Structure 1
Amino acid sequence: MNNLVKNEKLQMVVVATATAIGAEFKIHPFQGDVFRIGFGVSTFLLFLLFTRHLPYIKTGIITGILNAVLQNSLAAGAYYLIYAFGMSRIQKRLDRFQPLVLGGIVTAIDFASNVTELLLHGLMLGTYRFSFHEWCYLFMVAILRSYFIIGLFSSISINQMRALHAEQEKRIKQMLNVGAGLYGEAIYLRKSMETIERITASSFDLYRKLKKDRLCDYSRQTIAVAQQLHEVKKDSQRILAGLRKLYDDEIVFDLTLTEIVRFVVEGNREYSEMLKKKIVIEAETEVKRDLCRPDYFPLMTVLNNLVANAVEAIDKQGAIHLKVFEDERDFVFIVRDSGRGIPEELRGIIFEPGFTTKFNEKGVSANGIGLSHVREIVRSFGGHIAVEPAGRSGGSRFVVRLPKPDVEQGGHQDVS
């Protein structure tokens, strides 16, 4: 079935048949049957615009032959051949023309094809003179049907582009969420590798001490543990390299600071809907120069996790406000929510590794990058993160300050 749809010869026959059917709906503007105006031309033009991969001249020949046979008129067949030849001259440049210009070109092709058809009629049936009024009538018909089809085609194309843009936006958001998630997991893994390195070094140190004290059995066990840890480290390095490649491959375009904020807000709106919470998430960006960043995952990871934490801190309904502005030295990011808030006695330890207030019904702590790793990313920019009460409305207020030079250079967080 797919082969039939992709068959060019079959497609050209379909174009010719549809044009022939459209040509049956016609009017005769002049006396007698010497000339007629039908919907075949409009149908033919619409198909040519949507099937640019087809050879226009061959399509015109097939269409002309079929119309000549059905209408018993060689001149009618010649019309489509001339029309297709004219369209073939601009086939590869159709996208370069503005609709108004394209309509004018198609009008000229239509009018020239009509003139050719009339000349052939005159040669075959004898001299037939047309008045200036009749020539103007033909020209007006060419204008009307050419611009009508160009307008219809443009309208359909715009709707297709809108649908394509919406699908691309959806894919970009999914891709950014995956990339930011991979970046966070890579940081976790790098931290684990640093821990493994320290344990391995301690194991070798213990091995040397045990061997020095002639505790051979214990020293052999210790070196075996160290070797196993070394293997775990190598496996972790391979996994980390794979993760790095995955999220690096996602970076195929640059994002501005405003776009990063927009994707964070839109993604967390969907997250709140998934959690069946009625949360109003708003963003406010006030920067003099909207940075365009190719390595946006670190910053997006920070903002995404702070806003996601705010979503989780709100029970059923509430509001989250993300504000971005700059002062003389820093870019400042403020995430304020109307959730439960953080008790004063916990504010000093919420950034410590392993700290969490999220547990499921089985008592298992929540996963995610965690505020400790958010702080690590912020520090990689040479920045600072703090939490404070949101004010009378309750909730929390996270303030992230990142020095301008470090943000512009992309920070120094390396997960390789």
Structure 2
Amino acid sequence: MMGTSLMKHKYIQILMVSVGTAVAGEFKINPFNGDIFRIGLGSSAFLLFLLLMRHLPYITTGIATGVFVLLFRTSLDLVAGEGMDISQIMGRHCSAMVYYIVFASGMALIKTRLDTFHPLVLGGVAAAIDLVSNEMELLTRLVVLGTPSFHLNEWTFLMAIAMLRTYFTTGIYSSISVSQMRIVQKEQKRRIEQMLGFGSGLYGEVFYLKKSIDTLENVTLNSYDLYRSLKDEGHQPQSRQVLDITQQIHEVKKDSQRILAGLVKLVDREVTGDMPLSGILLFTVKSNTKYAEMLGKQIVFHYQITSDYTTANYIPLLTLLNNLTANAVEAIKEKGTVSLDVYEKGDLTVFTVTDSGQGVKDRDRELLFEPGFTTKFDDEGVAATGIGLSHVRDIVEVFQGEVTVGTAPYTGGALFQILIPTVMLRKEE
């Protein structure tokens, strides 16, 4: 059923090509005396159709177009009533049918190589096919109508016309192709940004799930030790209850491990490759610009990078910088600035995020990276979870680095600085 529908759709497209070519062919010039041979836009339109609709069978399309052009022009002459019978009129226009069949056959020979041709080469090859098709058209006129041979200057004119219209058409095709490529690249860029945002968030969830599994493992061991102690001391009811709890914790741990395995596979499939530090910085700025707009804040972002290298660990870095930058956006009331800087200091790569908010009070700095500590409350007085900065600290520790907080120069806001050994990030060339 689907195959029949596709075939029907293909026939409709062939009909559209035939109609479009026939109509375009009525916009014409006559390079020679009388109406024996005419050059119209039909050739250019037909070439453009073939280049843009490569899924169509070229020879079938050429035959269909040639027959339709013959019938179309015959019908127009019959309506015009020029005093000729139908056989004379069809004989007059059958050479046009030959042109489109020969042209389509020539294009079919190079169809599989169209993408390998440079636009200038494609224009030249198409011009050669056009010239051969014109010669076959003229030969058909000579056989059917007895048209006399053309002079050398007229053949030269035909060659010039062939070059002109094929290069004009391939130029239009190239422009359309470039526009389509830009649209595709824009869509790919949007999807990559979505993937990076997804990967950054997923990395954080995987990171904490791993920590939870480690915690569950320790709780399981401690619970089992408690069960054995109670059993040895003769507390049978209590020991049995502790054993049940231990088993339940163990089941939760196994379920968490299965979930973790699925998430890790998802991360590996969706988030692969490398990224330069400059790309990480640009993505962080772009995503948090949108975040600031969503919050209704007017924030100007500045960024500077004096050391740029490729890293395979861009997802954890995105997680770190997104977290700190989002905190900076939230710390600013209505208007302000956020600055991101990346540079190397000795064997360390330094990431800094500063803002023009209220800054961090001295009494809060020691507790700032502890889970559950927060200074953020919503309009109803409900506190935030307070795990964001502890998350940052834990990821930094995985890379054997450190994170510090201070006061931003000039703005008086917060300054967060991450120092990570460059060897932990830089990808070897």
For normalisation by structure 2, the TM-score amounts to 0.89
Q: Distance in 2 between matches of 1:97 and 1:219?
A: 80
Match of 1:375 in 2: 393
Is the counterpart of residue 348 in structure 1 residue 366 in structure 2?
yes
Percent of matched pairs sharing the same residue: 50
Match of 1:304 in 2: 322
Q: Distance in 1 between matches of 2:331 and 2:255?
A: 36
Is the counterpart of residue 331 in structure 1 residue 349 in structure 2?
yes
From the superposition, tell whether residues 241 and 314 of structure 1 become closer, same or farther in structure 2 (CA, over 3 Å): same
Match of 1:119 in 2: 139
Q: What secondary structure is seen at the aligned counterpart in 2 of 1:408?
A: coil
Matched-pair contact (CA < 8 Å) for 2:340–2:354: yes
- Which residue type is aligned with residue 178 of structure 2? I
Q: Distance in 1 between matches of 2:271 and 2:315?
A: 9
From the superposition, tell whether residues 97 and 209 of structure 1 become closer, same or farther in structure 2 (CA, over 3 Å): same
Match of 2:78 in 1: none
- Which residue type is aligned with residue 38 of structure 1? G
CA shift for structure 1 position 48: 0.6
Is the counterpart of residue 30 in structure 1 residue 48 in structure 2?
no
Q: Distance in 1 between matches of 2:162 and 2:252?
A: 76
CA shift for structure 1 position 359: 2.8
Q: Distance in 1 between matches of 2:384 and 2:192?
A: 26
- Which residue type is aligned with residue 20 of structure 2? A
Matched-pair contact (CA < 8 Å) for 2:371–2:386: no
Show the 5 A alignment for 1:145-224. 145-224=165-244
Match of 1:414 in 2: none
Q: Distance in 2 between matches of 1:396 and 1:101?
A: 60
- Which residue type is aligned with residue 336 of structure 2? G
Q: Which of 65-74 and 169-178 deviates more?
A: 65-74
Is the counterpart of residue 144 in structure 1 residue 144 in structure 2?
no
Matched-pair contact (CA < 8 Å) for 2:372–2:387: no
Q: Distance in 1 between matches of 2:132 and 2:102?
A: 8
- Which residue type is aligned with residue 46 of structure 1? L
CA shift for structure 1 position 77: 0.7
Matched-pair contact (CA < 8 Å) for 2:25–2:40: yes
Match of 2:309 in 1: 290
Q: Distance in 1 between matches of 2:138 and 2:354?
A: 75
Matched-pair contact (CA < 8 Å) for 1:203–1:223: yes
Q: Distance in 2 between matches of 1:123 and 1:304?
A: 77
Match of 2:41 in 1: 39
Structure 1: gaps of 5 or more residues: 411-416
Which residue, out of 53, 56, 61, partners 2:55?
53
Q: Distance in 2 between matches of 1:401 and 1:103?
A: 57
- Which residue type is aligned with residue 354 of structure 2? R
- Alignment root-mean-square deviation, CA: 2.1
Q: What secondary structure is seen at the aligned counterpart in 2 of 1:318?
A: strand
Is the counterpart of residue 322 in structure 1 residue 363 in structure 2?
no
Matched-pair contact (CA < 8 Å) for 2:374–2:385: no
Which residue, out of 15, 18, 34, partners 1:16?
18
Show the 5 A alignment for 1:245-260. 245-260=265-280
CA shift for structure 1 position 123: 2.2
Structure 2: gaps of 5 or more residues: 74-89
Q: What secondary structure is seen at the aligned counterpart in 1 of 2:425?
A: helix
1:257-307 per-position Cα deviation (integer Å, ceiling 9, x unaligned) = 2222221221111111111111122322222x52152x4211211111111
Count residues with an aligned counterpart: 408
Match of 1:413 in 2: none
Matched-pair contact (CA < 8 Å) for 2:61–2:104: yes
CA shift for structure 1 position 18: 1.3
Matched-pair contact (CA < 8 Å) for 1:184–1:369: no
- Which residue type is aligned with residue 9 of structure 1? Y
Q: What secondary structure is seen at the aligned counterpart in 2 of 1:147?
A: helix
From the superposition, tell whether residues 164 and 64 of structure 1 become closer, same or farther in structure 2 (CA, over 3 Å): same
1:139-187 per-position Cα deviation (integer Å, ceiling 9, x unaligned) = 2222222122112122222222222222221111111111111110122
CA shift for structure 1 position 367: 4.9
CA shift for structure 1 position 56: 1.0
CA shift for structure 1 position 408: 2.8
Stretches of 4+ moved more than 6 A in 1?
A: none
CA shift for structure 1 position 125: 2.1
Q: What secondary structure is seen at the aligned counterpart in 2 of 1:7?
A: helix
